[in-house]
Chains A and B, each alone.
Chain A
Amino acid sequence: MSADDVPTLEVRNLQTRFHTRGGVLPVVDGVSFTLARGKVLGLVGESGSGKSVTGFSIMGLVDPPGRVEGGQVLFQGQDLLQLPPAARRALRGNRIAMIFQDPMATLNPVLRVDTQMVEAVLAHRRIGNAAARQLAAETLAQVGMPSPEDRLRAYPHQLSGGMRQRVAIAIALLHGPDLIIADEPTTALDVTIQAQILSEMQKLVAARGTSLIWISHDLSVVAGLADEIAVMYAGRIVEHGPVDAVLDQPQHPYTQGLIGSLPSANRRGARLRQIPGMGPNLLQMPPGCAFAPRCARASAACSVMPQMHVPRAEAPSHQVRCFHPGVAEAATA
């Protein structure tokens, strides 16, 4: 089979539940998507939408009380959920890598950068220490780290937030992975530093044909980076399609609400369009559409779960989970 036919990642009906004292939380509830080689998927949602847990589930990093309980995660055609732990470990950090929001959670504060990077190299490759160190320095240089040789001898606390995140990204890139899952890696950074990191990521991904899942709450960041966008709400993807289709012709009322509540989408000084109500309580999910209680278009039909479908024949790759899709006629105030 040629590498072009098989998508890098295909997630089918992924189910991750958290078993808590209060009850079972369906944190990821039937997530499906396909990511081709070299493509960037922006996974967007607000707190508690399940976007991060989707990333953790693909990586196999869900901790109790959470459990991946159903579905398939096909990485280059191979179902990761069926693999024994050792085989998954061989892929993790090697072919699939993850970048987290807080680089201090990735880096060990009492080890120097070189110790950590060399360890990550040797975990998957049988080469000498000097060669591993050389590779670490080269990778640091690729992510725009000035004087990488000096920085290798530094401890994480001696680096700024942006520099730490570069180290974390370099560790993810060490083995030239086929898939990178980035969980809000620039959220904690300043605007100028965020732009630098986005720029480096963009170049690296394009040069190597790496597939990237960029998890974020910030539609504006995703807009500039992604090829496709999937919007999550209450554990489900509610809208998925090419970036231009989703942002210019959003079909789901929630996506429209998210875009409408951005200050840049509103006239200066005017009241922002806001989504009424609060995020869903996963313990008391309605049987139908989870967004219906906050939705202006909700009707009796919405008490049944809507399925993903294509609302516009001219955009066959644009899918939405809503009985009343359509571009907002008069945006709800």
Chain B
Amino acid sequence: MNNTLPLVDMQGVSKRFGARPPPGALGRALRRLGVTKPPLVTHAVDGVDLAVRPGEVVGVVGESGCGKSTLGRIAAGLLAPTEGSVRVNGQLLNGLTAPERLAARLRVQMVFQDPFASLNPRLRVSRIVGEAARLHGLTDAASEDDYVSAQLQRAGLDPALRHRYPHQFSGGQRQRIGIARALAVQPAMLVCDEAVAALDVSIQAQILNLFMDLRDELGLAYLFISHDLGVIEHVCDRVAVMYLGRVVESAPVDELFARPNHPYTQALLAEIPRIAQRRTTFNTIRGEIPSPIDPPSGCHFHPRCPHAFDRCRSEVPTLRGIAIHHASACHLNDAA
């Protein structure tokens, strides 16, 4: 499977957000006079390489502000990276003509976290699900109704409900509508951004099962973004752990959970509450997650790391292979 062409291949992708100074001569003059402050720049994603191959489920895990959602949006073509390249089916997105780029974008669709905010409350479900497919010529006005019914059925919803509005559905059903909408343009890959985080446990299980069924039926690939390590462990083949914009460790899921290498991954794994642990003393890593506007120097994790030494404060560790398919960005691997 490793030899197949990746569906989405991101290389050295970075995304910075921040106020740009006013352009042109005025901006230069203001800057010279010291009137404008240097812009605050958020390094949301910082030099990430990640590829998803057909039929593969790749997990991205991390805490708030680690850039996992931004990375997902770059993969889905919703955001353009500030640096780096994104290839879809081996083709560089920037080099494509407009119609080709449109076709490439259809290959990758998104399922969002909030099933309340991600559906237009004024549209009927039939329109929400059918509109994109009709615009892209996957169906026509005559057969749109049947097409929508088929999509809803596939997402586990009763097609008889297609003339209702989103507010008439429960959270789990809305998430199914979001999935039906994504599937309606026949993508090869779904980017699921915390797609089950807002759901109750019993509904979460139903939606996760649906994702796995769709993978078997349609051979879909997933970029599965979550903060929930239990969910990641369950559905993913490969996992990338992010911290403040960088991938700190990536490995096949069994390997990552059995032999976590990076101190941050180890801390995360140690701190997932598990149902088998009773009256535990919660062991904690110290400190807060730093701001991505002014991240710590060197290894971003060093202020919280129990093993940090001088080099961690000055030098950024690179992501290097430490075992087969297992990469970690930690200076400790050199010392050993």
Contacts and interface: CB of A to CB of B under 8 A. Distances in A.
Interface of A: 46-47, 160-163, 190-196, 198-199, 202, 217-221, 223-225, 227, 243-244, 247, 257-266, 268-269, 271-275, 278-279
Interface in B33-67: 63-64
Output the residue of A163, A259, A268 with the most chain B CB within 10 A: A268
Contacts of A275: 202, 205
B233 A262 contact: no
B288 A202 contact: no
A195 B304 CA distance: 14
21 contacts: A46-B203, A190-B227, A192-B284, A195-B271, A196-B282, A217-B200, A220-B230, A221-B273, A223-B276, A224-B273, A227-B279, A258-B201, A260-B205, A261-B202, A262-B205, A263-B234, A264-B275, A268-B234, A271-B209, A273-B205, A279-B170
B307 interface: no
Given A193-B289, A261-B205, A262-B205, 11 more contacts: A161-B64, A192-B285, A202-B282, A223-B278, A243-B279, A262-B201, A264-B233, A264-B275, A265-B275, A268-B234, A271-B209
Contacts of A265: 275
Contacts, number: 137
A133 to B, nearest CB: 24
A325 B271 CA distance: 33
Contact of A278 (B172, B204, B275, B286): B172
Contacts of B277: 220, 223-224
Contact of B268 (A163, A191, A220): A191
B251 interface: no
Of the four ranges (under 10, 10 to 19, 20 to 34, 35 or more), the interface on chain B belongs to 35 or more
B283 interface: yes
The 9 A-B residue pairs with the shortest CB-CB distance, nearest first, are A261-B205, A263-B234, A199-B282, A190-B63, A272-B205, A195-B271, A220-B273, A46-B200, A275-B202
Nearest to A260: B205
A261 B234 contact: no
Interface of B: 63-64, 170-173, 200-206, 208-209, 212, 227, 229-231, 233-235, 253-254, 267-268, 271-286, 288-289
B278 A269 contact: no
Nearest to A188: B64
A202 B63 CA distance: 23
A51 B132 CA distance: 41
A194 B64 CA distance: 12
B201 to A, nearest CB: 5
Contact of B234 (A46, A192, A202, A272): A272
B288 A162 contact: yes
A274 B282 contact: no
Given A224-B282, A262-B201, A269-B234, A192 B63 contact: yes
Contacts of B205: 260-263, 272-275
A interface, over-half SS: helix
A217 B283 CA distance: 22
B284 A195 contact: yes
A192 B271 CA distance: 6
Contacts of B285: 192, 195
Contacts of B202: 46, 257-258, 261, 274-275
Given A220-B275, A224-B273, A279-B170, A264 B230 contact: yes
Given A261-B202, A272-B209, A278-B170, A190 B278 contact: no
A219 B275 contact: yes
A192 B289 contact: yes
Contacts of A269: 212, 234-235
Contacts of A220: 230, 272-275, 277
B201 A46 contact: yes
Nearest to A244: B278
A225 to B, nearest CB: 8
Contact of B208 (A190, A243, A263): A263
B273 A218 contact: yes
B275 A262 contact: yes
B259 to A, nearest CB: 16
B227 A191 contact: yes
Given A269-B235, A274-B202, A275-B202, A262 B230 contact: yes
Contacts of A163: 288
Among A218, A272, A275, the one with the most B-chain Cβ atoms within 10 Å of its Cβ is A272
Given A199-B283, A217-B201, A271-B212, A190 B64 contact: yes
B280 A224 contact: yes
Contacts of B280: 224
Contact of B281 (A160, A202, A258, A262): A202
A112 B229 CA distance: 36
Contacts of B212: 269, 271
A139 B203 CA distance: 39
Given A199-B283, A274-B205, A191 B272 contact: yes
B253 to A, nearest CB: 7
Contacts of B267: 192
A202 B285 CA distance: 16
A123 B230 CA distance: 44
Contacts of B289: 160, 190, 192-193
Which interface residue of B172, B201, B274, B281 has the most chain A CB atoms within 10 A? B201
B233 A268 contact: yes
B283 A223 contact: no
A272 B205 CA distance: 6
A203 to B, nearest CB: 9
B275 A198 contact: no
Nearest to B282: A199
Given A160-B288, A192-B63, A247 B283 contact: no
A205 to B, nearest CB: 12
